[in-house]
């Protein structure tokens, strides 16, 4: 998933120190940084007490609660805050005035002040904050307000009332006194904190140190297997990028028994939830999302669109670039898995076919562009928005655009460049220079620089526009074509979707279907499917049903009240897309395919493939 400003801000502070010493004087001279105390006072009641120590300064200050974090959705964390109070150093109460639902003004704070509040946190998952008798997992933007005038100043955090036997894991720097420090608020809230009786392992790879934190039932996982897979993933990703912009990186995992799934990227860590059952079936449930979140440490955390900077915690941060920052991260996820040996060619091509099928089956691919889907990320909290005729996913279309851009760059550069060179160019010219890229135009700049070609049509037609992607034109160079296969598929009579780790919600019920006759309604929440709690696996469970199978669901309507519904699964004609070899795959196409699947430019391979005209048999 998503993001936050970190390196960029650190880089900017470094510039401050050297070039703009004058205007940054207040930061450099600040004697007492802002300090937070986070007290886990009541795990049973999910209550955290927060104290913010403000240093001397202006008499009148404002503190702001972010309205969003992690997900590109307004979630108004202030809804969980109980009474906000303030006092001076001597304990005398100060006047606190609410300015809007997420901002308060403190008066008489010239000699420093302590702002206090209590907050309720009980949302599970990597995008949230939770305190219960088992653990605390905290995305700090969801529990900590920031002083509006010192958001970019260094700060300290201390945890107290930690239950016995629990430890703290976070990517934040720690001081000998047990405090954690951050260069600024953005950096602070980019480091989630796990506090529990977790298991820990670690490993080194090519000079980098990696910590693995797992808070889960030990019967549900094998640490050695996880570490072995992570080792392959980080080796594949850092070698693909020829870069490792950190000394230590931390993986935080939870394997809940109930509905779970998803990961959240950070600059120096990631937090990932995988359903325990899915983990037992295959480590694939963990490796894909891990490759994705790990690659985000470049794409979106450091290779970052200008439209996400500076982060605006008070309202939506609109960007057209999520097709790249999220979708092309999924493209890289595939490449990293291939290079790590966690996916083979057949599996990879099958997966690409599924992605094409998903996009082509959504009528909205002709009405909503990848850029518009990015802007509309902020609508993803609404059920109707997920309907196939309303929206496409910037993950889905973006991943495919990443594959097409890779092929287009290879074609335009005669094999001398690929998506790898595009990514490395953006890393060199934006991330490492502390610059941000200009959304799609910035991606185009990079792709044109490495291919030495004009790629404007690609961006106009498929990124900003909604033209049908001519798959075969792109895949021909690697000896593949996309085959449309009509088949009879099961049809449960409805579509449903989940908003990240939210409940499964019915988007559309097919008029006249058995589902409609059984009483299923749009916006119903699916609580159980075939007797099991609905979650991440429900989609696959639905896909496995055959026409004529009995389906039983427990649903909850918006007005409350559970209903048990049963009906017989129907069928419909549907087109699936599969990638298959061209009838004649030339040696040249074969060589290009090999380079493409390695995620490397052909460069060195050119010349070793002979005349290029040799035909090989289909299926090679």
- Residue 117 or residue 294: which is nearer to Zn ion going by CB? 294
- Residue 53 or residue 394: which is nearer to Zn ion going by CB? 394
Residue located via tokens 């670039």? 321
CB of 487 to Zn ion, least distance (A): 31
Integer Cα distance of 193 and 252 in angstroms: 9
Residue 380 in contact with Zn ion, rule: CB under 5 A? no
Integer Cα distance of 187 and 268 in angstroms: 10
CB of 1 to Zn ion, least distance (A): 4
**Total residues at interface with Zn ion (CB under 5 A):** 2
Element (H, E) at 423: helix 419-429
CB of 560 to Zn ion, least distance (A): 34
CB of 251 to Zn ion, least distance (A): 15
Q: Which of residues 315-354 bind Zn ion (CB under 5 A)?
A: 326
CB of 573 to Zn ion, least distance (A): 34
CB 372 within 8 A of CB 465: no
CB of 292 to Zn ion, least distance (A): 5
Integer Cα distance of 520 and 525 in angstroms: 10
- Residue 329 or residue 513: which is nearer to Zn ion going by CB? 329
- In the sheet that holds 262-265, the strands lie side by side as 199-205, 208-215, 248-254, 269-273, 262-265
DSSP conformation class of 381: T
- Residue 127 or residue 430: which is nearer to Zn ion going by CB? 127
- Residue 57 or residue 126: which is nearer to Zn ion going by CB? 126
Burial, 415: exposed, middle or buried (Cβ in 10 Å; 0-12, 13-18, 19+)? buried
Residue 96 in contact with Zn ion, rule: CB under 5 A? no
CB of 302 to Zn ion, least distance (A): 14
* Segment contacting Zn ion by CB under 5 A, of 1-9, 122-130, 173-181, 208-216: 1-9
Pick from 503, 488, 617, 524: nearest CA to 124: 503
- CA dist list (Å): 525 to 225, 387, 494, 499, 531: 36, 15, 12, 12, 15
Integer Cα distance of 586 and 618 in angstroms: 9
- Residue 502 or residue 519: which is nearer to Zn ion going by CB? 502
- Residue 2 or residue 538: which is nearer to Zn ion going by CB? 2
CB of 329 to Zn ion, least distance (A): 5
CB of 331 to Zn ion, least distance (A): 11
The number of residues making up the chain comes to 620
Integer Cα distance of 430 and 24 in angstroms: 23
- Residue 1 or residue 525: which is nearer to Zn ion going by CB? 1
CB 478 within 8 A of CB 592: yes
CB of 378 to Zn ion, least distance (A): 16
Element (H, E) at 249: strand 248-254
Q: Which residues contact 311 (CB under 8 A, 6 or more apart)?
A: 4, 5, 186, 317
In three-state secondary structure terms, 56 is coil
Residue number, nearest CB to Zn ion: 1
The interface mask with Zn ion, positions 533-562, x = CB under 5 A, is ------------------------------
CB of 3 to Zn ion, least distance (A): 9
- Residue 1 or residue 234: which is nearer to Zn ion going by CB? 1
The interface mask with Zn ion, positions 272-311, x = CB under 5 A, is ----------------------------------------
CB of 289 to Zn ion, least distance (A): 9
Residue located via tokens 């639902």? 101
Q: Which of residues 455-484 bind Zn ion (CB under 5 A)?
A: none
Q: Which tokens sit at 502?
A: 């939210």
DSSP 77-135: GGGGB---EEE-TTS-B--EEEEETTEEEE-S-TT-EEEEEEEE-B--STTSEEE-SSE
- Residue 37 or residue 330: which is nearer to Zn ion going by CB? 330
Residue 281, CB-side half-sphere exposure with 13 Å CA sphere: 8
Q: Which tokens sit at 473?
A: 């034109």
CB of 298 to Zn ion, least distance (A): 12
- Residue 326 or residue 371: which is nearer to Zn ion going by CB? 326
CB neighbour burial string for 11-50, b if at least 16 within 10 angstroms, e if fewer: bbbeebeeeeeeebeebeebeebbbbbbbbeebeebbbbb
- Residue 1 or residue 172: which is nearer to Zn ion going by CB? 1
- Residue 1 or residue 375: which is nearer to Zn ion going by CB? 1
Residue 1 in contact with Zn ion, rule: CB under 5 A? yes
Integer Cα distance of 102 and 145 in angstroms: 9
Element (H, E) at 445: helix 439-451
Integer Cα distance of 542 and 571 in angstroms: 12
DSSP 557-618: -TT--EEEEEEE-EEEEEEEEEEEE-SSEEHHHHHHHHHHHHT--SGGGTTSSTTS--EE-T
CB 398 within 8 A of CB 370: yes
- Residue 273 or residue 448: which is nearer to Zn ion going by CB? 273
Integer Cα distance of 545 and 492 in angstroms: 8
CB of 122 to Zn ion, least distance (A): 25
CB of 293 to Zn ion, least distance (A): 7
Beta bridge partners of 581: 480
CB of 265 to Zn ion, least distance (A): 6
- Residue 293 or residue 309: which is nearer to Zn ion going by CB? 293
- Residue 326 or residue 514: which is nearer to Zn ion going by CB? 326
Residues near Zn ion (CB under 5 A) are 1, 326
């Amino acid at each position: 998933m998503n993001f936050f400003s970190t390196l960029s801000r650190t880089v900017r502070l470094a510039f401050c120190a050297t070039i703009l010493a004058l205007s940054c004087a207040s930061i450099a001279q600040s004697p007492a940084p802002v300090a937070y105390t986070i007290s886990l006072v009541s795990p049973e009641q999910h209550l955290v007490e927060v104290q913010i120590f403000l240093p001397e300064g202006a008499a009148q200050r404002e503190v702001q609660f972010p309205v969003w974090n992690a997900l590109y959705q307004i979630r108004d964390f202030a809804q969980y805050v109980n009474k906000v109070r303030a006092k001076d150093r001597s304990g005398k109460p100060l006047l606190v005035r609410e300015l809007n639902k997420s901002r308060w003004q403190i008066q008489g704070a010239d000699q420093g002040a302590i702002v206090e509040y209590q907050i309720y946190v009980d949302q599970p998952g990597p995008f949230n904050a939770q305190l219960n008798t088992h653990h605390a997992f905290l995305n700090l933007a969801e529990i900590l307000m920031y002083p509006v005038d010192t958001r970019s100043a260094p700060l300290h955090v201390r945890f107290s009332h930690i239950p016995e036997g629990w430890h703290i894991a976070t990517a934040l720097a720690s001081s000998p006194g047990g405090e954690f420090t951050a260069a600024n608020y953005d950096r602070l809230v980019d480091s989630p904190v796990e506090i529990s009786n977790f298991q820990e392992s670690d490993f080194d790879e090519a000079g980098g140190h990696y910590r693995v934190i797992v808070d889960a039932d030990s019967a549900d996982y094998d640490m050695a297997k996880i570490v072995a897979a992570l080792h392959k993933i980080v080796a594949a990703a850092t070698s693909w990028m020829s870069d490792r912009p950190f000394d230590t990186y931390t993986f935080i995992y939870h394997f809940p028994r109930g509905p779970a799934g998803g990961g959240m990227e950070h600059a120096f860590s990631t937090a990932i939830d995988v359903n325990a059952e899915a983990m037992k079936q295959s480590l694939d449930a963990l490796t894909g999302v891990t490759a994705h979140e790990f690659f985000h440490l470049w794409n979106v955390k450091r290779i970052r669109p200008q439209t996400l900077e500076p982060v605006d915690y008070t309202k939506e941060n609109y960007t057209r670039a999520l097709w790249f920052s999220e979708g092309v991260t999924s493209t890289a996820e595939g490449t990293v898995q291939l290079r790590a040996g966690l996916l083979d060619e057949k599996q990879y091509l099958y997966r690409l076919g599924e992605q094409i099928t998903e996009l082509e089956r959504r009528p909205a691919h002709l009405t909503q562009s990848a850029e518009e889907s990015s802007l509309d990320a902020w609508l993803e909290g609404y059920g109707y928005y997920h309907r196939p005729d309303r929206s496409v996913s910037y993950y889905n279309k973006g991943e495919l655009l990443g594959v097409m851009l890779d092929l287009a760059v290879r074609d335009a550069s005669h094999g001398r460049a690929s998506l790898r060179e595009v990514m490395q160019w953006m890393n060199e010219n934006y991330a490492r220079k502390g610059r941000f890229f200009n959304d799609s135009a910035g991606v185009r700049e990079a792709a044109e620089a490495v291919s030495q070609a004009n790629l404007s049509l690609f961006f106009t037609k498929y990124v900003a526009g909604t033209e049908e992607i001519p798959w075969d034109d792109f895949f021909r160079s690697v000896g593949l074509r996309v085959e449309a296969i009509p088949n009879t598929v099961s049809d449960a009579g409805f579509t449903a979707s989940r908003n990240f780790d939210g409940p499964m919600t019915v988007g559309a019920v097919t008029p006249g279907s058995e589902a409609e006759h059984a009483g299923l309604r749009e916006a119903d929440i699916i609580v159980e499917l075939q007797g099991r709690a609905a979650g991440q696996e429900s989609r696959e469970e639905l896909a496995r049903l055959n026409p004529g199978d009995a389906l039983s669901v427990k649903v909850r309507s918006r007005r409350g009240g559970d209903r048990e519904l049963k009906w017989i699964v129907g069928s419909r004609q549907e087109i699936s897309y599969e990638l298959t070899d061209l009838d004649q795959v030339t040696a040249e196409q074969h060589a290009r395919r090999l380079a493409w699947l390695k995620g490397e430019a052909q460069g060195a391979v050119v010349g070793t493939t002979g005349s290029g005209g040799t035909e090989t048999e289909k299926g090679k």
